[in-house]
Copies of this chain bind each other. A is one copy, B any other.
Amino acid sequence: MYRTHTCGELRISHVGEVVTLAGWVQRIRKMGGMTFIDLRDRYGITQLTIDQGSSHELNEIAEHLGREFVIQITGSVMERSSKNNKIDTGDIEVKLSSINILNKSVTPPFTIEDESDGGEDIRAKFRYLDLRRNPLKRALELRHRMAQEVRSFLDSQGFMEVETPVLIKSTPEGARDFIVPSRMNPGEFYALPQSPQTFKQLLMVAGYDKYFQIVRCFRDEDLRADRQPEFTQIDCEMSFVEREDILNTFEQMSKTLFKNVLGVNIEGAFPRISYKDAIDKYGSDKPDIRFQMLINDITDLVKHSNFEVFNSADFIGAICVEGCAEYTRKQLDEITAWVKRPQVGAKGLVYIRFSESEIKSSVDKFYTPEDLKKICERVGAKEGDLILILSGETKKTKEQLGTLRIELGNRLNLRKSDVYAPLWVYDFPLLEWDQESERFYAMHHPFTAPKPEDMDKFYSSDKEQIAQVCANAYDFVLNGTEIGGGSIRIHDAEVQKRMFSVLGFSDQEAEYKFGFIINAFKYGAPPHGGIAFGFDRFCALFGGQETIRDYIAFPKNNSGRDIMLDAPSYVDESQLDELYLKSIAKK
């Protein structure tokens, strides 16, 4: 061992001891005849000193040290004259008797400080240096802690960790699979799993009762910001349970994480809201409930006036922005421009200022003060509040109001990263109709059970009826981000067949792609259900961040590239030959 203690370990009680430390040179300062070196390792920073009286040799070595050199030192622990209460080792310093340079360092391309001066690309290329910075180290330490706590909780609840394969069969449905050519089976391909969905269901058929895994998943999608081609899930499944059992179990898991990782007690049951209510009130199926500003339907109040924009709208909705009646014309114009951006897509914005003296709106010529007052009442506005109104096609308008609500939440600092507001959203639609391909897609995935009361509709020959079927599905939402999603599954082979038929699969196709699971259901499949959490995002939110990249040790960029490795890359022709493949891409 190159050290007797770590750089975060020494305290006043160690004074007088001779210690050996090893770590990185964080900083060197000279003051008077003294040299001060901050020595860093994963555990902290210890101040080293070389005083005037030290040997020439020691001073000579210190002279040639640079940032990020790796050194091993021996010295005596001394009480500091001026203590530093910002660091755990701030009461002491180590007076050096020897320095051994273990490895030199060329000058790093950016500074290894909490706030780095490196741009994103250069930090990605030198990820191993970026990872030395405290914010990233803390992010990965949080992730480590989360993983241990998740497993420890699930183990204590009788869940069995089972590893499922990574080389599986390609059954694209929804997102694209990554595929892997098989050399031993020429012309054939494995696929990387988008999730272990079918495996965990097979484990339920096998009687494993409670399964979990923290598992890598893969999706070959065009990457939007903050998506990764490989990501990690907390994947769980339970048998002989109903929705309530699953929500309770994972509510308990979340509470345990909040408590053990963040020291945050979440009191009482998590709020629950139906998909319909979430859309109606928040314009989103992943509402951020850290603040109110709910959507109010004012269609009945404002339609049938002379205002053509509202008259032609299916839906008119309003949100009440507390205390913002004094927004200037300029501010309101800016918000109007913001909602008209293509990303939001509203046609325009109507406002009502409910100030002390008067109620004033951008549609004063169409509505009387009494009309406006009714709106104020409907949205629960008090004096000093601002009301913002959007109109148009029902669902789209609600979503636009939801987007605006979040934006205002950000601007008004209502979305505090140290406030945690988890909730469950349930009763999602089972299916989505895709105009382009003229078929239904599973909103969750093809193994989600319809709600028992909707079974008649599910077997209906009428598309409208089928479209109304509710799924026995639920999402776990934290601070406006979907962290987890799951459902009670189909466990009846006939219902599963019906699902594939609703999704437009021929019997043959269903058999080819999912024969193994339809078949498995014939041998005594128990009722079962489960949930999967996006672990990267779960960690990021616990860390108070919205982007996941700092919570992944070696992430890829938006083109799916690992800049550090320079991957993907071209391979030898001989590798392709062995796989019976020819690349027809232009180099």
- A187, closest chain B residue (CB): B585
Type the 1/0 row for A173-208, where 1 means its CB is closer than 8 Å to any CB of B.
000111111111111111110000001001101111
Interface mask (A472-488 → B, CB under 8 Å = 1, otherwise 0): 00000000000000000
**CB of A169 closer than 8 Å to a CB of B:** yes
Partner of A222, one of B106, B184, B240: B184
Contacts of A575 in B (CB 8 A): 170, 172, 176-177, 179
Task: Spot the interface stretch: A76-84, A498-506, A563-571.
Answer: A563-571
> Would B167 and A230 count as touching, CB distance under 8 A?
yes
Question: Are the CB atoms of A568 and B41 closer together than 8 Å?
Answer: no
CB-defined contacts of A22 to chain B, threshold 8 Å = 240, 526
Indicate if the CB atoms of B184 and A559 lie closer than 8 Å. yes
**In contact, A185 and B560 (Cβ under 8 angstroms):** yes
Determine the distance from Cα of A468 to Cα of B343 in the docked complex, in whole angstroms.
67
Cα-based distance from A226 to B560 in the complex (angstroms): 35
Contact B206–A586 (Cβ < 8 Å): no
Say yes or no: B167 contacts A556, CB within 8 Å: yes
Chain A window 323-359, contacts with chain B (Cβ cutoff 8 Å), 1 for yes, 0 for no: 0000000000000000000000000000000000000
Of the 9-residue stretches A258-266, A409-417, A438-446, A516-524, which lies at the interface with chain B? A516-524
Identify which of A128, A186, A572 gathers the most chain B CB atoms within 10 Å of its CB.
A128
Task: Report whether B43 and A209 are in contact in the complex, using a CB–CB cutoff of 8 Å.
Answer: yes
* Interface window among A275-283, A457-465, A576-584: A576-584
Residues of A within 8 Å of B, CB-based: how many? 127
- Bound complex: CA of A223 vs CA of B182, how far in Å? 13
User: Roughly how many angstroms separate A230 CA and B584 CA in the complex, as a whole number?
Assistant: 29
Task: Collect the chain B residues with CB atoms within 8 Å of residue A244's CB.
Answer: 1
CB within 8 Å for A526 and B102 given contacts A166-B216, A240-B2: yes
Q: Quick one: closest B residue to A241, CB to CB?
A: B1
A368 within 8 A of B: no
- Chain A at the B interface: mostly helix, strand, loop or mixed? loop
Contacts known (A184-B559, A208-B131); A179 close to B579, Cβ less than 8 A: yes
**A456 located at the interface, meaning its Cβ lies under 8 Å from any Cβ of chain B in the complex:** no
Distance in angstroms from A37 CB to nearest chain B CB is 14
Which residues of B sit under 8 angstroms from A222, Cβ to Cβ?
184
Contacts known (A140-B162, A567-B167); A103 close to B524, Cβ less than 8 A:
yes
Query: Which B residue sits closest to A105, measured CB to CB?
Result: B524
Contact status B129-A187, CB under 8 Å: no
Say yes or no for A561: interface residue by CB 8 A criterion.
Answer: yes
Spot the interface stretch: A49-57, A141-149, A309-317, A383-391: A141-149
20 intermolecular pairs with C-beta atoms under 8 Å apart: A1-B240, A2-B242, A41-B207, A42-B209, A70-B525, A102-B526, A103-B527, A140-B162, A143-B163, A148-B152, A152-B152, A163-B552, A165-B562, A167-B229, A169-B565, A177-B575, A180-B192, A180-B568, A190-B567, A202-B554
